[in-house]
């Protein structure tokens, strides 16, 4: 009784708690700014940002430690919609959103807006098709729903396979981002930095599960949004007298246009659907919308995002959570194009045409981080010449300088000559984004393996203590494997994340949506369709990425779901019509989860 009262008191005082936290963080930044002016070395400031913020997350994880299953898996279902939306925003805005999205816009211009449209548009699908109904279902994981809806462990195992593949690919990207940040700001080798960053992930998620991750992600969102907006607000106010960078960056684009004409650079990136020659291309048009579709459907299929809506008190707040999620994500996504424009202008003005011997210090610093920036004096004249504009995957080749998209946001304060404390702040924000998503992904994987495989299939009589030990052990194992894979640098962050979305879309979207909206979907149909869609998506991704298979219709493998998704729907539909319909009880169960109020009609395995 006392424990329940403590929980209620905590939730009732969330505004005061996080208001105090926000004020304290701003005060911490101001103190470091003063120390910088007093001559404290930059490295000390960088260490302070990284270690103090990770320490805060670890402290929240320690305070939220639990041995209760409902709190470990679904945070006790007491998270209000506003804070769940904030936690979802942090869970969602990964290293790809914080570090790479503006970098993608920096490199590819309009053609990279597919990421913005796809990722935000996906939440419409979440709100309309899935979140409220999965919350009404009332269990712990996405494979839980598949196992109950399709009446057996075969569907559950298939769901876990897809979940693991998509989530693991996604977490490798986050670990890669963590490695970039900790390597740059702690001055340690990239391969070691990856493992160092895992400490912050594990302390939060291992001790308190979803409960710890939820309250940590709220804290991480506050840091990441302050960190993302501060440099641009500073620059926009300084140069244009407008503290709203989203309204000022049109002037920045005009300046970029003038500079590129002066330099004779083809602005192929400045118009939509154009190829390297600057001409309209149906291939680019198709790739743009294929990416938007894959990311939208992938958003609505990602287990670590759908899990967040299991934590709300009721179905209504699950719907409201989606709305708050979109708002908190909008704040960053609306700013990303301005980030890309400001960064492009600063690079043109402070690097191009400069003597290599007198380049800013940030060029030397970032050239030592995993080969993400390289200088080559092609003409041998000792000057950085801009002789071309070529995009090679995640790298922009300007002739004498090659810039990887993953350093644009992190390096921008240094490029713009802002105080180093702003660089440390941005690093803390990027770390918060990567850690928050990594926590959610690790939890999704570990919960699926420990709950859906170990408990539901291998040891149904396992004690609470044993189940939590298994879940925590799996967290550590998966995290270590992800770090090892990230150390091989398989691709850019945003590309790896797009792969994860395609895998989730190809395998999970059809069985989830049809399981809710078409009562005639059968177990055999769903299982065969799920694995067929996933197999086609996975085959296309691997064959084109690693075995040089020609692209189908010119579609890049970041949009592999374009081929797997229709296969999943068609196969599920055809096989379902060829097999006996679900029982009357199952169809009543499906009807009941579509109604916001009342209990779930079928009380079989759903309530074991």
- 102 alpha carbon, distance to own chain's centre: 14
Decide: 164 and 356 in contact? Cβ < 8 Å. Answer: no
Q: Nearest to residue 457, comparing CAs of 155, 137, 72? A: 155
**For 399, phi and psi rounded to 5 degrees?**
105, -90
Return d(Cα 329, Cα 92) in angstroms, integer. Answer: 8
pLDDT of residue 5: 46
Two tokens, residue 539: 């085959």
Return d(Cα 397, Cα 116) in angstroms, integer. Answer: 23
Continuous segment of H or E residues that includes residue 252: helix 245-263
Q: Nearest to residue 93, comparing CAs of 258, 330, 259, 269? A: 330
Return d(Cα 156, Cα 170) in angstroms, integer. Answer: 21
Two tokens, residue 113: 């807006």
Decide: 65 and 145 in contact? Cβ < 8 Å. Answer: no
The strand order across the sheet containing 401-404 reads: 373-375, 401-404, 395-399, 386-392
The neighbouring-strand residues paired with 374 are 402
**For 417, phi and psi rounded to 5 degrees?**
75, 25
- Residue 41 has a CB neighbour count (10 Å cut-off) of 11
| Residues whose CB is less than 8 angstroms from the CB of residue 530 and which lie 6 or more positions away in sequence, other chains included | 155, 158, 159, 162, 507, 508, 510, 511, 568, 572
Two tokens, residue 428: 């803390």
Two tokens, residue 507: 């395998």
Return d(Cα 139, Cα 273) in angstroms, integer. Answer: 44
Q: How far is CA 338 from CA 243, 251, 261, 503, in A?
A: 12, 10, 21, 30
The sign of the dihedral angle between the CA atoms of 258, 263, 264, 265 is negative
Q: Nearest to residue 185, comparing CAs of 52, 44, 53? A: 44
Q: Nearest to residue 10, comparing CAs of 91, 69, 66, 53? A: 66
Residue position matching structure tokens 């939730």: 11
CB burial readout 110-137, b (16+ within 10 A) else e: bbbbbbbbbbbbbbebbbebbbbbbbbb
Domain extents in the chain? 17-343+418-607
Angle between helices 190-240 and 81-92 (to 10 degrees): 110
Q: Nearest to residue 125, comparing CAs of 318, 331, 322, 332? A: 322
Two tokens, residue 79: 């998270």
DSSP 582: P
Two tokens, residue 510: 């059809």
Two tokens, residue 409: 């946001």
pLDDT of residue 2: 42
The neighbouring-strand residues paired with 397 are 390, 402
Q: What is the DSSP string of 178-199?
A: HHHHHHHHHT--HHHHHHHHHH
Residue position matching structure tokens 């390096």: 411
pLDDT of residue 70: 59
pLDDT of residue 65: 64
Residue position matching structure tokens 């010119």: 554
Return d(Cα 236, Cα 214) in angstroms, integer. Answer: 33
Continuous segment of H or E residues that includes residue 395: strand 395-399
Decide: 399 and 60 in contact? Cβ < 8 Å. Answer: no
**For 223, phi and psi rounded to 5 degrees?**
-70, -45
Task: Please provide the CATH number assigned to the domain covering 17-343+418-607.
Answer: 1.20.1730.10
DSSP 370: T
Q: Nearest to residue 469, comparing CAs of 67, 18, 162? A: 67
pLDDT of residue 394: 81
Angle between helices 101-108 and 493-517 (to 10 degrees): 110
Q: Let me know the angle formed at the C-alpha of 465 by 463 and 469, rounded to the nearest 5 degrees.
A: 120
Return d(Cα 144, Cα 608) in angstroms, integer. Answer: 11
Return d(Cα 550, Cα 363) in angstroms, integer. Answer: 37
Q: How far is CA 438 from CA 167, 345, 407, in A?
A: 9, 32, 19
Return d(Cα 214, Cα 210) in angstroms, integer. Answer: 6
pLDDT of residue 603: 42
List average pLDDT for each run of 10 residues in the chain, which is 608 residues long. Answer: 52 85 93 92 86 80 66 64 87 81 85 87 88 80 88 90 90 83 76 74 62 82 93 90 87 86 64 71 91 95 82 80 90 89 85 81 75 79 79 80 85 86 90 82 79 79 78 80 80 85 96 94 96 97 94 95 97 96 90 78 49
Residue position matching structure tokens 């085959």: 539
pLDDT of residue 292: 95
Helical residues (DSSP H) of 93-189, grouped into ranges: 95, 101-108, 113-125, 131-137, 142-149, 153-186
Continuous segment of H or E residues that includes residue 359: none
Two tokens, residue 235: 């620059």
Two tokens, residue 294: 């894959």
Two tokens, residue 262: 């002066």
């Amino acid at each position: 009784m006392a424990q329940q009262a403590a929980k209620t008191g905590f939730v009732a005082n969330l505004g005061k708690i996080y208001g105090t936290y926000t004020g304290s963080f701003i005060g911490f930044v101001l103190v470091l700014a003063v120390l910088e002016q007093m001559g404290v070395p930059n490295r000390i400031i960088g260490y302070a940002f990284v270690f103090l913020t990770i320490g805060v997350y670890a402290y929240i994880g320690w305070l939220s430690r639990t041995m209760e299953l409902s709190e470990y898996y679904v945070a006790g279902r007491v998270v209000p919609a506003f804070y769940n939306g904030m936690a979802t925003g942090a869970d969602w805005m990964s290293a790809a959103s914080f570090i790479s999205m503006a970098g993608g816009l920096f490199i590819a211009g309009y053609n990279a807006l597919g990421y913005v449209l796809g990722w935000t548009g996906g939440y419409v699908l979440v709100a309309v098709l899935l979140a409220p109904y999965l919350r009404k279902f009332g269990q712990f994981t996405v494979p839980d729903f598949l196992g109950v809806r399709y009446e057996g462990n075969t569907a559950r195992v298939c769901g876990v396979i897809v979940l693991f593949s998509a989530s693991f690919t996604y977490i490798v990207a986050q670990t890669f981002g963590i490695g970039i940040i900790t390597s740059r700001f702690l001055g340690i080798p990239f391969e070691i930095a990856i493992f160092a960053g895992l400490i912050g992930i594990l302390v939060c998620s291992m001790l308190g599960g979803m409960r710890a991750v939820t309250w940590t992600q709220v804290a991480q969102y506050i840091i990441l949004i302050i960190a993302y907006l501060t440099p641009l607000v500073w620059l926009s106010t300084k140069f244009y007298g407008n503290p709203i960078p989203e309204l000022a960056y049109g002037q920045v684009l005009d300046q970029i246009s003038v500079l590129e004409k002066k330099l004779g650079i083809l602005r192929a990136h400045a118009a939509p659907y154009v190829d390297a020659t600057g001409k309209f291309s149906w291939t680019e048009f198709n790739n743009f919308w294929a990416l938007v579709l894959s990311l939208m459907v992938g958003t609505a299929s990602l287990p670590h995002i759908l899990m967040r809506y299991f934590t709300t008190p009721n179905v209504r707040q699950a719907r409201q959570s989606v709305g708050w999620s979109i708002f908190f994500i909008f704040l960053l996504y609306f700013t990303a194009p301005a980030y890309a424009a400001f960064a492009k202008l600063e690079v043109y003005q402070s690097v191009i045409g400069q003597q290599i011997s007198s380049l800013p210090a940030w060029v030397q610093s970032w050239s030592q981080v995993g080969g993400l920036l390289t200088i080559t004096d092609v003409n041998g004249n000792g000057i950085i010449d801009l002789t071309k504009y070529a995009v090679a995957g995640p790298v922009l080749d300007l002739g004498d300088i090659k810039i990887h998209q993953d350093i644009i946001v992190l390096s921008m304060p240094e490029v713009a000559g802002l105080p180093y404390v702003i660089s440390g702040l941005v690093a803390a924000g990027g770390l918060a984004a990567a850690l928050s998503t990594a926590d959610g992904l690790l939890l999704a994987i570990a919960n699926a393996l420990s709950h859906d495989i170990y408990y539901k299939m291998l040891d149904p009589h396992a004690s609470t203590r044993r189940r939590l030990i298994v879940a925590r052990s799996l967290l550590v194992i998966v995290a270590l494997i992800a770090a090892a894979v990230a150390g091989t640098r398989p691709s850019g962050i945003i590309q790896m994340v797009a792969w994860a979305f395609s895998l989730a879309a190809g395998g999970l979207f059809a069985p989830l949506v049809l399981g809710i909206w078409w009562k005639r979907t059968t177990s055999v149909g769903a299982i065969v369709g799920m694995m067929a869609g996933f197999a086609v998506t996975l085959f296309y991704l691997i064959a084109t990425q690693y075995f040089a298979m020609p692209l189908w219709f010119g579609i890049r493998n970041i949009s592999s779901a374009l081929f797997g998704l229709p296969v999943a729907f068609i196969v599920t539909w055809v096989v379902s019509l060829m097999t006996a319909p679900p029982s009357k009880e199952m169809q009543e169960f499906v009807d009941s989860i579509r109604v916001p109020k009342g209990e779930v009609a079928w009380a079989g395995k759903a309530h074991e």
